[in-house]
Structure 1
Amino acid sequence: MNELPPLSDEALVRISRQGGFAAIATLSRPREIDFAQCDPDQRGQVCSLLEACLPVASKEAGRADQRFYRIELQACAQRAQEKLVLNVPEERAPRDLVKLWKNGL
């Protein structure tokens, strides 16, 4: 995928950490970002981060006990079935993605 779908204030982003030798649900620490609760600067930061993840996302992420970040993007709440999923290998993840996952917005 080369570009993100258009994102409105109805967009939802969920980031979790997956994989590893022993997958433990509590260590995934999912973060959910509701664009309706974000100001325009925060939305811009999240969109820039998502665009930075596009070239490093891989369908191969998570194989051989590799940790990865799973990003689920729901562009519009009214069309909940339309979801984009990016799997970003931990070692290729942008620093800002790791920071967002650890600390939230």
Structure 2
Amino acid sequence: MKELPALGNDATVRLSRQGGQVTTMTRPREIEFAQCNVDEREQICNVLNRCLPQTSTDVGRGDQRFYQIEVRYRSDNRDDQLRFTVPEDQASEELKRLWDKGQV
């Protein structure tokens, strides 16, 4: 299972809802940790950590929607990225709210 790395002020989280027949529901959301306070960053990391057990590579078949989560960060003085998907029917309400409203 993937692990969420330690994320600092330079991290960016990009959430998008993919799949399904209605492509207008994609509406990506980007959250820059530099714009968040410490508590908000911790809450976002907690939501993402709870998503990791629900990740799947077998998503997007037929009308199935899923959330694509991309985390961009710096590690050992280099840019890095973690990408994973969560089927919509397994996504927590917190993840849905984070994508929809940009807040936990």
TM-score, normalised with respect to structure 2:
0.89
1:51 matched to 2:57: no
Equivalent residue of 2:62, what SS? helix
How many matched pairs?
A: 102
CA distance in 1, matches of 2:94, 2:12: 18
What percent of counterpart residues are identical? 50
CA distance in 1, matches of 2:85, 2:78: 22
Q: Please list the CA deviations of residues 1-55 of structure 1 after superposition, one character each: whole Å capped at 9, or x if unmatched.
A: 34211111100000000001x252x321111010011000000000000000000
How much is the aligned-residue C-alpha RMSD, in angstroms?
Answer: 1.7
| Corresponding letter in the other structure for 1:7 | L
Q: Please list the CA deviations of residues 64-101 of structure 1 after superposition, one character each: whole Å capped at 9, or x if unmatched.
A: 33100000001229744x21111000000011000111
CA distance in 1, matches of 2:11, 2:89: 27
CA distance in 1, matches of 2:102, 2:55: 20
Structure 2: where are the runs of 5+ without partners? none
CA distance in 2, matches of 1:45, 1:52: 11
CA distance in 1, matches of 2:47, 2:73: 15
Show the counterpart of 1:14.
14
Of the candidates 78, 89, 93, which is equivalent to residue 95 of structure 1? Answer: 93
Bigger strand share: 2
CA distance in 1, matches of 2:74, 2:30: 14
